[in-house]
Structure 1
Amino acid sequence: MNDFRKLSDRVFASPQIAPEDIAAAKGAGVTLIVNNRPDGEDPGAPQGGEIAATAHSAGLDYRAIPIGHSGFSEAQVAEMVEALDGAGGKVLAYCRSGTRSTFLWALAQARTGAATPEEIAAAAREAGYDVSPIRPMIDMLAAR
């Protein structure tokens, strides 16, 4: 059973997905799956290669932008901006709980000016995520 949480009209965040969630993602209009979970973080969870293979066999694009527990880098934010800009449809980003995916989406939104910090925080809150731990980063990127 999937737990795709709507962050925007084009982006969903989700806790760890399984290969059987790919069909539901495709049915929701997803064309790109972004994996924000490093392989090996939980050896019992489906690893990136398995999700990538299932996504590709379903005709979906797949991209890995792993976010470890050390935090976010400018390069990872840039990769997420590129992934979102290049997606031909909706995007499903996932990690263990969906929090890192939401944070990365929020930072990408702030960096591009696609939404104000308040709009970003409200969208995340509506999806069940709290971006207050990274709010200073959101504000800094939005001010650029």
Structure 2
Amino acid sequence: MEHTLPPMRQLTDSLRACGQLQADDIRALAKEGVRTLICNRPDQEEPNQPGSDELADLARQLGISWYYQPVITGQVTDEQGLEFGKILQQAEAPVVAFCRSGARCGTLWALSQKPERSGDELVAELKRAGYEMPDFFKRLTG
């Protein structure tokens, strides 16, 4: 039986974002050719969440690079966005970033792009990818 991945949001040609990954998801992404995973979810954010160390070990065994950049929901800073951008610059594509729902990953990506792109352009890109975050959109365009 084919494994079904969590819903993915396509942010760029080489970057997708999604909610929490499980071990089977990482195996499926490896078969799909994903080269890098970015975990933006702090460990123990909720009960029964797989630990980042366990997922990182599996990813590396499957030849996938792993970055752990835990970000607290609702408290994403511009500096964390710039750090996310630095990770993306060195990451081998294709890349999948994940957190609880994928929203923090979209936020981090947009903040990483803010120095080069207009807020309106970033809001349009996020909406195209399926994000609806009016408060964050105001932060980008304000």
Task: Provide TM-score, normalisation by structure 1.
Answer: 0.85
Q: CA 1:118 to 1:28, structure 2 compared with 1: closer, same or farther past 3 Å?
A: farther
Superposed, 1:40-79 pairs within 5 Å as 40-79=44-83
Counterpart CA distance in 1 for 2:15 and 2:133 is: 16
Deviations 1:65-94 (A, max 9, x none): 111135112331221011110112121111
Query: Which SS does the other structure have where 1:34 is aligned?
Result: strand
Contact 2:73/2:104 (<8 A) preserved: no
Q: Name the CA distance, whole Å, in 2 between partners of 1:31 and 1:99.
A: 21
Structure-2-length-normalised TM-score: 0.86
Q: How does 1:11-50 map to 2 (within 5 A)?
A: 11-50=15-54
Q: Conserved in 1, the CA contact under 8 Å of 2:82 and 2:111?
A: no
CA contact (8 A) 2:39 2:68 kept: yes
Equivalent position amino acid for 1:102 in 2:
G
- The residue type paired with residue 39 of structure 1 is D
The 1-side partners of 2:104 and 2:120 are apart by 19
User: How far apart are the structure 1 equivalents of 2:55 and 2:8?
Assistant: 16
1:26 Cα offset (Å): 2.7
* Residue number in structure 2 paired with 1:99: 103
Q: Quick one: structure 1 residues 70 and 102, their matched pair in 2 at CA, closer, same or farther if it must change by over 3 Å?
A: closer
Q: Summarize the Cα distance change of 1:10–1:102 in structure 2 as closer, same or farther, 3 Å threshold.
A: same
Give the aligned partner of residue 123 of structure 1. Answer: 125
CA contact (8 A) 1:107 1:137 kept: no
Over the matched positions of the two proteins, sequence identity in percent amounts to 31
- Structure 1: give runs of 5+ residues left out of the alignment: none
- The match for 2:94 is 90
